[in-house]
Amino acid sequence: MTDLSSDSSPRQRRGRRNPQGNRRPRRRRLRAAFEAHPVWAWALLVGAVLIAAVLAAALLRSTVADLYRIPSGSMEPLLLPGDRISVDRGAYAAAPVERGDVVVVDGEGSFVPYDSRPAPARAVDEALQWLGLKPDTSAYVKRVAGVGGDTVSCCSADGLLEVNGEAVPEDYLAEPPASRTAFTAEVPEGRLFLLGDNRHHSHDSRGLLGAPGGGMIEETKVIGKVTGIAWPAERRTPLEPGPGAGER
């Protein structure tokens, strides 16, 4: 009969064969590996550092701050094509979106159609975007013209945008008037009315007035608040609040 408490089992005997080797310090084993295969060892070390850096950057971009590249001139003259902007993803965690804020929104289902590709293809793109290896083509940068409860209309006798019957001076516009197309929009709670600063070359809420949702973007679609221009270096600057900022 086999005694399970006996110390003569094969596994225990194998464990006794080289007790000194089992207690060998890890640093000595790593040093020996480097000395035996220095090129491969350095390659693995550099690869591990790069992977850790990419993952850390991706985690930072997806939770705290992010960088986006401006692809068009819809926000000129404030933002130029090729600018890289810094976006605070946590700006609205404890504060509401306000008029005058420049925000990045997920335009899928509003500015662009929903992605109907197979799930694996979408998953690959989302992973590449999360890692910062592919731009997010559904992200749009716009200025908040109206929040829930507002009535946004254009234009006044002076060609200005009006919010709740009051003219809004927009010194940031590329050129007047505030819109070449007359409109009036009542913004439901939880929605936003967004406009580009280059008003005559911007795909924004005005173009969606007849669509489901009436051109209003859900607040939950806001990715973050644009806090400044990060690149190129000669244009690096924080963003100043626009007219109406701080108001609901």
Asked if 61 contacts 132 with a C-beta cutoff of 8 angstroms, the reply is yes
Q: What is the pLDDT of residues 30-46, one digit of tens each?
A: 666 666 766 666 677 66
Question: What letter represents residue 169's amino acid?
Answer: P
240 three-class SS = coil
Helix (H) or strand (E) holding 87: strand 84-88
CA distances from 71 to 18, 37, 103, 231, 236 (A): 64, 46, 15, 13, 17
178 three-class SS = coil
Question: What letter represents residue 148's amino acid?
Answer: G
Q: What is the pLDDT of residues 218-244, one digit of tens each?
A: 999 999 999 999 989 999 999 876 655
Helix (H) or strand (E) holding 186: strand 183-186
User: How far is residue 192's CA from residue 185's CA, in Å, rounded to a whole number?
Assistant: 11
42 three-class SS = helix
Tokens of 201: 């070359």
* pTM recorded for the entire structure: 0.71
Which of the residues are catalytic?
74, 142
Percent of the chain past pLDDT 90, that is, above it, reads: 49
User: How far is residue 145's CA from residue 139's CA, in Å, rounded to a whole number?
Assistant: 18
Sign of CA dihedral 55, 61, 62, 65: positive
Contacts of 156 (CB under 8 A, 6+ apart): 162, 167
| Locus of tokens 């504060």 | 95
Q: What's the pLDDT at 201?
A: 95
Where are the chain's structural domains? 10-60, 66-238
CATH fold group of domain 66-238: Umud Fragment, subunit A (2.10.109)
Q: What is the pLDDT of residues 141-182, one digit of tens each?
A: 999 999 999 999 999 999 999 999 999 999 999 999 999 999
